[in-house]
Amino acid sequence: MIPWLENMGSFPPPESALSDPNGLLCASQSLSPQLIIEAYCSGIFPWYSSDNLVLWWSPDSRMVFFPHEIKISRSLRKTLCAGNYQVRLDYAFPEVIRACANIRRQGRESTWITKDMLSAYITLFELGFAHSVETWVDNELVGGLYGLSIGKMFYGESMFSKKTNTSKIALAHLIRYLDKRLYGLVDCQMNTPHLASLGAREIPRRDFLNRLRELILIPPLRSRWPEDDAARLWS
């Protein structure tokens, strides 16, 4: 059995999460923007596939990007420098998160981005916490990602791609954008070969939590990103 959040009043310590499945910490019946902010500030995130039960996680180890460590392949760098696309920030957040929700991941019949999740993150976008990085070609949204920013900490959530490399273009611009603004860490949550190929790596949960506690306190704690700030980061 795992703790029921409504009975506790606050999240249990991340260190009390299960080892199998790795990181499962507690469950709740509801999801709200306030709960999400509290969770992220504690190194916890929601991940589930049911509108009736929210599962909260804090795995050990944690997959992260240190922005200055991004690895760009020769082919991707060529694509980035060619500039046959436009990158926008916070221009079409609702469209990005809905596109991510519509992607069916391998081995999963349903999306973890439920209706409650969509509503909560769109509210967080309106409040200046959630952000999108978008790849456009001929005025069509063809790839992108979204996540949360608190202080100098960024939490990546999901990405989508309708054309080759368009989510990688968005990710490369995100990391360069964050590096130039002295962000300390990008939380990727789970290890994937795709993220590892771009330079993400695992660190112990203990180290992740120590870094997070410092970074989330660096102002501004929230802001709206200028739409055209990523336009020439790789030109």
Instruction: Please report, for the chain, the start and end positions of each structural domain, with discontinuous segments joined by +.
Output: 5-59, 63-215
Q: Which whole number is the average pLDDT over 175-184?
A: 93
- In the predicted model, is pLDDT for residue 227 greater than 50? yes
Closest to 174 (Cα-Cα) out of 202, 198, 212, 145: 145
CATH topology of domain 5-59: Alpha-Beta Plaits (3.30.70)
The amino acid present at 173, given as its one-letter code, is H
Asked whether the domain spanning 63-215 has the same topology as the one spanning 5-59, the reply is: no
Round the average pLDDT of the chain to a whole number and report it.
Answer: 90
* pLDDT value, residue 118: 94
- In the predicted model, is pLDDT for residue 229 greater than 90? no
**136: confidence class by pLDDT, cuts 50, 70, 90:** very high
Q: pLDDT digits over 45-76, tens only?
A: 998 766 678 999 999 999 999 999 999 999 99
Q: Which whole number is the average pLDDT over 81-91?
A: 90
* pLDDT value, residue 53: 86
| 210: number of Cβ within 10 Å | 13
Tokens encoding 65: 């990007």
Q: Strands (DSSP E) along 69-196, which ranges?
A: 86-89, 130-137, 140-150, 153-161, 185-189
CATH topology of domain 63-215: Aminopeptidase (3.40.630)
Task: Using a pLDDT cut of 90, give the percent of the chain over it.
Answer: 72
Give residue 161's Cα distance to chain centre: 15
Give residue 76's Cα distance to chain centre: 21
